[in-house]
């Protein structure tokens, strides 16, 4: 039996203004080793669900568990520690700290991990940046790099503390096709190595990288589909299968 | 029609300005409020200081004129009736009138406290000298009594702070030996614009004519045993345009005045004595207001810069719909004009009640109830000048708006060049390194806070150094006023031998050294002044040249030298009761007595022109254990009572200065507190707004709220520390020259601060801690930054 990393039970999130539900009684489990993708039209509540599951955003009712513990029982400090050690984030916009170099952006996240020495963090940051093919730009500030470089650095940063779960919110949303492919390849490769990923996207080409796709509409999960691990050779068939599934869901 | 279209156009323009102004003020209401508060604080301080300063000068002079005190007042004694002398003086062509007030010079005792200077029992004559009398509580006046009852006495209000006296207390005047004292009951307080300030040792008391006659009879009957003596004040008004020194020289040369003169003071000198405290402290306060003004400009500058930074996109949009750069600048100018005007108006209005409170609070130190009416002309002129400067500054500071390119602004492609930063980010002390990085990359945001810290620390440090110089008991000031150092001084008033006094002192501690000092009146080049005659001239506080060791040498203060136009090596004519003689100026020394109008000479030198009487000498002792001084003073007082005049390195007026200094320090640190609060709030608000995204990223990375808050506060701590170091260095270099200018006005020419380590470090520490604390409190808002701001559905 697979281990559930995150479990949502009856999660409701109301819009702060209108009090209309953005998430409507969501029941969901995110498993170790999965590359879970949440799809859905704009305004479906995809990102809201992602941030609710990561504890970045408060929910109106229901429960979310990380492994065995409910997120609401975590103090602010413990929640921060959880984000530092167990969660990694990659955002749609390049969310790097503007006055830190790419290398520093990665290393700073690593410095929060108490068990690692500064030297170990720096070595790991160097190797992650090399793996993400941005070692040449590592000493540049985010404003001096391309969107692709910055997003790959953001992925390196998300991976610095070897998180249990990587949250990716439309990671290719602001990238061109070439950079998007590179980022998706990296995510796929990380997942192959056992990294659990939860990604939000509305792009089918990105979604087919997942092993499990959930369809969200009007704050409810309408359906899900399971896929074998991604293989570039079968990408076309995989895309067709997902498109057919989405069409059946009136996508 | 054309007129109508202009009207419509004007109305449209007004509406668009009104709309934009409202929008600007709404979106930057924190900034607007902060700037308003700063201007309010500056205006409030300025209005209060100007009121006290302007009104006190005017009031003292107008009161002296109202009471017909004339251009020069001579205190004379040794003549039974002053009328012939007054007529002799009035007969001079340059003299317009001479007023005479009868008085009795006498020491006095209030409770266990003995007077430091002689008191003057003035006969109350309401027809000629209509003094004002204070109501109970000293917050207003009551009707002047038609006459004073026998046994009653009215005293200056400053005696409340000097001696803690109250209505109903007794004052004892030792009129003659063998206990022939006169005891009066304090009936109330009167306003003495002549000697009423705590800064003046001699004090005037109002008594009735019957008591005056009674005392005169005791003096006459006592003969050589008399301790008090009769005298007069001659208020001389000139008809011409002579200077006080010229008039004084004329009176001494053409009449017999000099034979009877105890001392003479011009109206300007008396006014100077009366206003010493106000002048020193209002000067310091005005300097502080100037510092606050500069600090406000620093905050304003930062505010304008960051507002433009935040509103660049909006301004780009405004330009695309037809607004010109200059029109946008005019709106900004109008916005700051309104804020400044509002702050100024509120500050000025508040300064009316505050001035009233300050004027009432200072009655017991100044002796005057200074009118608290706002000097509208002076205040408006100063505020108009400040407003003009502010607006010119705003206009210059907003010139960047003209350079905003509409499309670049909308695309948010600002032409800012990111600079590489060399400071590392380390794991150990991560919060500090991140704070430092924020500071180094966002320098401009913190320049205002740094300047505010620097300016406030500079002034607080300057004041701390002055306070340190003053000492906890005013020793610094006393050293500046005294011609030479001392621990205890004793002067025989009768037949008590100094051997007995010394024996009493040595019962407590060893006398390590002693010298004699007398302070007779002399004239130097025809001008009356006090001579400090000393038996050990090497004890004078010498500033330059050599001390007066020979019988034909004198030392002068810098002020006398400047007044007479002489320097070391020149010759002056000094005249005393036995004649005059030529003396060489051997050196310049420090003694602020009589606002520096005195000279120093040795005993042999004085004997050439004056009479050496045993009772004129006051022996100054140095003790092996100075801490026993209070006990020794008490023992001497108990043993010898009125037969020995005792004093120490202090005088009652000193406490007025010390309490004013304490009040000033409280005011200063209150202002520092408020300014740091507002400056931190303004800067922190802008920083939090600008760093919203970065803060959310840090949050997502796992930075706790506490760590982010500490790191945010640390930046302000670092910048305030930097500013504080600059301010401390600045004060180390500038305190002495700047304060010396002020002290010179009061006759102190050798101001030099030697602060302790606490005095040096305290202001910087206070300001740094305040910045740190307020920034930490402001950083509580980080919790409110929505963590979901990084995503859009």
Of B594, B486, B470, nearest to B199 (Cα)? B594
Partners of A170 on chain B (C-beta within 8 Å) are 791
Q: What is the pLDDT of residue A250?
A: 79
A96 strand-pairing partners: none
Neighbours of B309 (CB within 10 A): 16
Judging contacts by C-beta atoms under 8 Å, the chain A residues touching residue B698 are 97
Phi, psi of B290 (to 5 degrees): -60, -40
> What radius of gyration, in Å, describes the C-alpha atoms of chain B?
33
What are the Cα distances from residue B332, in Å, to A178, A189, B38, B299, B307?
Answer: 46, 55, 18, 16, 10
DSSP B643-668: GEEEEES--THHHHHHHHHHHHHHHH
Dig out the tokens for B543 from the structure. Answer: 């500033």
N residues, chain A: 251
Q: How confident is the model at residue B317 (pLDDT cuts 50, 70, 90)?
A: confident
* pLDDT tens figures, B367-378: 999 999 999 999
Could you give the percent of chain B with pLDDT greater than 70? 93
* Contacts across the A-B interface (CB distance below 8 Å): 104
Measured between CB atoms, which of B426, B437, B787 is closest to A56? B787
Cα separation, B152 vs B167, whole angstroms: 10
Q: Is the dihedral of CA B636, B640, B644, B645 positive or negative?
A: positive
Q: Give pLDDT tens digits for A213-243.
A: 999 999 999 999 999 999 888 889 999 999 9
Query: What CATH number has the domain spanning A1-86+166-171+191-251?
Result: 3.40.50.300
> Which residue's entry shows tokens 């509305």?
A202
CB B336 within 8 A of CB B391: yes
What is the pTM for the complete model shown?
0.75
**What is the H or E stretch that residue B430 is in?**
helix B430-441
- Lowest mean pLDDT: which of A9-18, B405-414, B623-632? B405-414
Q: How far apart are CA B561 and CA B747, in angstroms?
A: 12
Query: pLDDT value at position B1?
Result: 45
- Answer whether residue B750 shows pLDDT above 80: no
CB contact under 8 A, B426 and A92: no
Instruction: Give residue-wise pLDDT tens across range A16-71.
Output: 777 788 999 999 999 999 999 999 988 889 989 998 999 888 899 999 999 889 99
Please write the tens of the pLDDT for every residue from B184-203: 999 999 999 988 888 777 89
**The pLDDT of residue B402 is above 60:** yes
Question: How many angstroms separate the CA atoms of B590 and B758, rounded?
Answer: 28
Q: Are residues B716 and B769 in contact, defined by beta-carbon separation less than 8 angstroms?
A: no
Minimal Cβ distance to B705: which of A48, A76, A144: A76
Q: Is B135 in contact with B152 (CB distance < 8 Å)?
A: no
Whole-number mean pLDDT of chain B?
86
Q: A234 vs chain B: nearest CA distance in angstroms?
A: 31
A152/A183 Cα distance (integer angstroms) = 7
Nearest chain B Cα to A22, which residue? B793
Strands (E), B577-624: 579-589, 598-602, 618-623
pLDDT for position A104:
92
- The partner residues of B132 in beta bridges, in order of sequence, read B191
Instruction: Please answer yes or no on whether B438 and A99 come within 8 Å at the CB atom.
Output: yes
Q: Do B165 and B159 meet the contact criterion of CB atoms below 8 Å apart? A: yes
Distance of residue A165 Cα from the nearest chain B Cα, in angstroms = 13
Residues in chain B: 793
pLDDT for B115 equals 77
Span B120-129, average pLDDT: 94
Q: Cβ–Cβ of B702/A99 closer than 8 Å?
A: no
Residue A148 neighbours by CB under 8 Å, 6+ apart: A175, A176, A178, A179, A182, A183
Per-residue tokens: B386: 């400040």
The separation between the first and the last C-alpha atoms of chain A, rounded to the nearest angstrom, is 32
B178, pLDDT greater than 80: no
The answer to whether residue B21 scores a pLDDT higher than 90 is: no
pLDDT reported for residue A95: 81
Q: Positive or negative CA dihedral for B260, B266, B267, B272?
A: negative
CA of residue A154 relative to chain centroid, distance? 11
**In Å, how far from its chain's centre is CA A10?**
22
The pair of structure tokens assigned to B508 is: 């407590």
Q: Does the beta-carbon distance from A95 to B700 stay under 8 Å?
A: yes
Closest CA to A168 of A206, A137, A113: A206
Chain A residue with minimal CA distance to B424? A104
Q: Is B412 at the interface with chain A, CB within 8 A?
A: no
Domain assignments of chain A as residue spans, ordered by start: 1-86+166-171+191-251, 89-162
Note the pLDDT of residue B41: 92
Rounded to an integer, what distance in angstroms lies between the CA atom of residue B548 and that of residue B540? 9
Domains of chain B by residue range: 477-650
Q: What pLDDT, on a 0 to 100 scale, did the predictor assign at position B262?
A: 84
In the prediction, which pLDDT does B592 show? 78
B438 touching A (Cβ < 8 Å):
yes
Give pLDDT, residue A6: 93
* pLDDT band (50, 70, 90) for residue B651: low
Give the pLDDT band of residue B320 (cuts 50, 70, 90). confident
Rounded to 5, what percent of chain B is helix, strand, coil? Answer: 55, 20, 25
pLDDT at B416: 47
Mean pLDDT of B409-424: 58
Contact B791 A51 (CB under 8 A): yes
CB contact under 8 A, A108 and B697: no
Q: How far is B678 from chain A (nearest CA, A)?
A: 27
Straight-line distance from the first to the last Cα atom of chain B, in angstroms, rounded to the nearest whole number = 54
Q: Cβ–Cβ of A108/B430 closer than 8 Å?
A: yes
Q: Which of B484, B512, B404, B459 is nearest to B671 (CA)?
A: B459
Q: Each residue of B322-348: pLDDT tens digit?
A: 778 888 888 889 999 999 999 999 999
Nearest residue to B371 via CA among B358, B386, B389: B358
Among B303, B375, B311, residue whose Cα is nearest residue B340: B303
Contacts 24+ apart (CB under 8 A), B30-35: B30/B681, B30/B682, B30/B685, B31/B303, B31/B307, B31/B682, B31/B685, B31/B686, B32/B335, B32/B339, B34/B299, B34/B303, B34/B678, B34/B681, B34/B682, B35/B296, B35/B299, B35/B300, B35/B303, B35/B336, B35/B339, B35/B340, B35/B343, B35/B682
Q: Identify the CA nearest to B120 among candidates B104, B136, B142.
A: B104
Report d(CA B705, CA B695) in Å as an integer. Answer: 9
Q: Contact B252/B528 with Cβ under 8 angstroms?
A: yes
Contact in structure between B480 and B740 (CB atoms under 8 Å): no
Task: Note whether B441 contacts A: Cβ–Cβ < 8 A.
Answer: yes
Mean pLDDT of B312-326: 80
Check: CB of residue B189 under 8 Å from CB of residue B242. Answer: no
Q: Flag whether pLDDT at B415 surpasses 50.
A: no
State the virtual CA torsion across B405, B409, B413, B415 in degrees, nearest 10.
50
Lowest mean pLDDT among A67-71, A148-152, B653-657: B653-657
Q: How far apart are CA B33 and CA B504, in angstroms?
A: 67
> In sequence order, what are the beta bridge partners of B237?
B97
Mean pLDDT in residue range B375-398: 94
Which DSSP string do the residues of B223-254 spell out, in sequence order? Answer: GGGB-SEEEEEEEEEESS---HHHHHHHHHHH
Question: Rounded mean pLDDT of A97-105?
Answer: 89
What is the reported pLDDT for B4?
53
Segment 707-746 of chain B within 8 Å of chain A by CB: 707
Q: Answer for the pair A29, A4: CB distance below 8 angstroms, yes or no.
A: yes
Chain B: give the shortest CA distance to residue A88, in Å.
Answer: 7
Q: Given a cut of 80, is residue B578 above it in pLDDT?
A: yes
pLDDT of residue B414: 46
Q: Report the alpha-carbon distance of residue B388 to residue A236 in Å, rounded.
A: 73
pLDDT tens-place string over residues B511-565: 999 999 999 989 898 888 889 999 999 999 888 999 999 999 999 998 889 888 8
């Amino acid at each position: 039996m697979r281990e559930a990393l995150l479990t949502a039970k009856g999660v409701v999130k109301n819009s702060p203004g209108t009090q209309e539900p953005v998430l409507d009684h969501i029941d969901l489990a995110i498993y170790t080793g999965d590359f879970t993708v949440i799809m859905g039209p704009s305004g479906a509540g995809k990102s809201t669900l992602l941030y609710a599951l990561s504890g970045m955003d408060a929910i109106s009712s229901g429960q979310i568990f990380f492994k065995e513990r409910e997120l609401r029982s975590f103090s602010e400090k413990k929640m921060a520690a959880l984000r530092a050690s167990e969660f990694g984030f990659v955002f749609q916009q390049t969310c790097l700290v503007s006055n830190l170099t790419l290398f520093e952006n990665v290393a700073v996240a690593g410095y929060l991990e108490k068990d690692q020495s500064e030297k170990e963090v720096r070595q790991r940051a160097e190797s992650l940046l090399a793996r993400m093919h941005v070692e040449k730009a590592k000493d540049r500030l985010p404003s001096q790099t391309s969107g692709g470089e910055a997003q790959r650095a953001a992925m390196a940063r998300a991976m610095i503390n070897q998180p249990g779960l990587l949250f990716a919110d439309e990671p290719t949303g602001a990238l061109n096709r070439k950079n998007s492919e590179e980022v998706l390849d990296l995510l796929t490769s990380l997942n192959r190595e056992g990294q659990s990923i939860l990604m939000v996207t509305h792009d089918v080409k990105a979604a087919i990288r997942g092993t499990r796709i959930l369809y969200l509409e009007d704050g409810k999960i309408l359906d899900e589909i399971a896929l074998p691990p991604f293989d570039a050779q079968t990408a076309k068939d995989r895309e067709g299968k997902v498109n057919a599934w989405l069409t059946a869901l009136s996508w | 029609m054309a007129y109508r279209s202009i009207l419509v156009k004007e109305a449209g323009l007004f509406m668009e300005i009104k709309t934009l102004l409202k929008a600007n003020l709404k979106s930057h209401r924190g900034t607007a409020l902060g700037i308003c508060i700063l201007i309010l604080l500056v205006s409030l301080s300025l209005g209060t200081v100007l009121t006290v300063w302007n009104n006190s000068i005017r009031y003292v002079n107008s009161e002296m004129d109202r009471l017909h005190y004339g251009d020069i007042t001579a205190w004379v004694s040794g003549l039974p009736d002053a009328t012939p002398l007054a007529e002799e003086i009035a007969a001079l062509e340059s003299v317009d009138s001479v007023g005479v007030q009868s008085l009795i010079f006498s020491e006095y005792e209030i409770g266990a406290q003995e007077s430091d200077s002689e008191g003057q029992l003035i006969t109350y004559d309401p027809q000629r000298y209509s003094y004002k009398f204070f109501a109970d509580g000293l917050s207003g006046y009551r009707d002047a009594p038609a006459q004073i009852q026998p046994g009653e006495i009215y005293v200056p209000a400053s005696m409340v702070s000097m001696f803690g006296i109250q209505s109903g207390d007794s004052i004892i005047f030792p009129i003659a030996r063998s206990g022939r004292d006169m005891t009066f009951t304090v009936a109330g307080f009167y306003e003495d614009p002549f000697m009423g300030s705590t800064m003046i040792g001699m004090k005037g008391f109002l008594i009735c004519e019957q008591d005056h006659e009674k005392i005169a009879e005791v003096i006459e009957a006592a003969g050589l045993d008399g301790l008090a003596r009769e005298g007069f004040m001659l208020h001389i008004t000139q008809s011409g345009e002579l200077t006080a020194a010229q008039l004084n020289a004329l009176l001494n040369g053409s009449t017999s005045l000099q034979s009877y003169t105890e001392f003479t003071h011009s109206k300007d000198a008396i006014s100077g004595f009366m206003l010493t405290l106000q002048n020193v402290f209002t000067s310091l306060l005005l300097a502080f207001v100037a510092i606050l003004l500069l600090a406000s400009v620093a905050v304003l500058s930062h505010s304008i810069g960051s507002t433009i930074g935040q509103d660049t996109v909006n301004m780009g949009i405004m330009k695309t719909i037809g607004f010109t750069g200059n029109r946008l600048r005019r709106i900004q100018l109008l916005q700051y004009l309104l804020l400044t005007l509002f702050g100024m108006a509120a500050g000025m209005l508040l300064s009316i009640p505050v001035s009233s409170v300050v004027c009432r609070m200072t009655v017991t130190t100044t002796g005057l109830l200074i009118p608290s009416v706002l000097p509208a002309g002076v205040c408006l002129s100063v505020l108009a000048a400040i407003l003009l400067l502010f607006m010119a500054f705003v206009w210059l500071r907003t010139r960047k708006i003209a350079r905003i390119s509409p499309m670049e602004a909308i695309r948010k492609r600002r032409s800012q060049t990111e600079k590489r930063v060399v400071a590392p980010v380390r794991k150990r002390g991560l919060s500090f390194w991140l704070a430092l990085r924020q500071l180094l990359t966002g320098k401009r945001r913190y320049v205002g806070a740094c300047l505010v810290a620097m300016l406030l620390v500079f002034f607080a440090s300057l004041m701390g150094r002055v306070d340190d110089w003053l000492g906890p008991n005013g020793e610094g000031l006393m050293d500046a006023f005294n011609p030479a150092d001392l621990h205890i001084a004793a002067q025989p008033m009768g037949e008590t031998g100094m051997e007995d006094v010394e024996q009493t002192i040595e019962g407590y501690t060893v006398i390590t050294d002693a010298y004699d000092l007398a302070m007779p009146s002399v004239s130097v080049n025809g001008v009356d002044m006090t001579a400090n005659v000393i038996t050990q001239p090497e004890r004078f506080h010498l500033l330059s040249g050599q001390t007066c060791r020979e019988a034909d040498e004198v030392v002068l203060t810098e002020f006398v030298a400047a007044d007479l136009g002489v320097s070391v090596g020149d010759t002056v004519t000094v005249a005393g009761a036995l004649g005059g003689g030529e003396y060489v100026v051997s050196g310049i020394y420090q003694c602020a007595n009589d606002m520096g109008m005195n000279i120093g000479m040795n005993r042999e030198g004085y004997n050439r022109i004056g009479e050496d009487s045993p009772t004129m000498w006051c022996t100054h002792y140095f003790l092996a254990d100075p801490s026993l001084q209070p006990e020794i003073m008490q023992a001497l007082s108990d043993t010898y009572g009125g037969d020995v005049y005792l004093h120490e390195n202090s005088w009652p007026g000193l406490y007025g200065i010390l309490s004013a200094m304490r009040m000033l320090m409280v005011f200063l640190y209150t202002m520092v507190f408020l300014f740091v609060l507002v400056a931190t709030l303004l800067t922190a608000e802008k920083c939090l707004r600008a760093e919203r995204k970065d803060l959310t990223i840090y949050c997502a990375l796992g930075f706790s709220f506490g760590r982010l808050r500490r790191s945010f506060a640390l930046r302000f701590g670092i910048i305030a520390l930097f500013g504080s170091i600059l301010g401390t260095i600045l004060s180390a270099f500038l305190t002495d020259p700047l304060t010396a200018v002020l002290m010179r006005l009061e006759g102190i020419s050798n101001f030099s601060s030697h602060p302790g380590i606490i005095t040096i470090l305290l202001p910087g520490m206070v300001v740094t801690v305040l910045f740190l604390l307020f920034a930490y409190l402001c950083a509580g808002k980080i919790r409110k930054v929505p963590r979901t701001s990084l995503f859009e559905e």
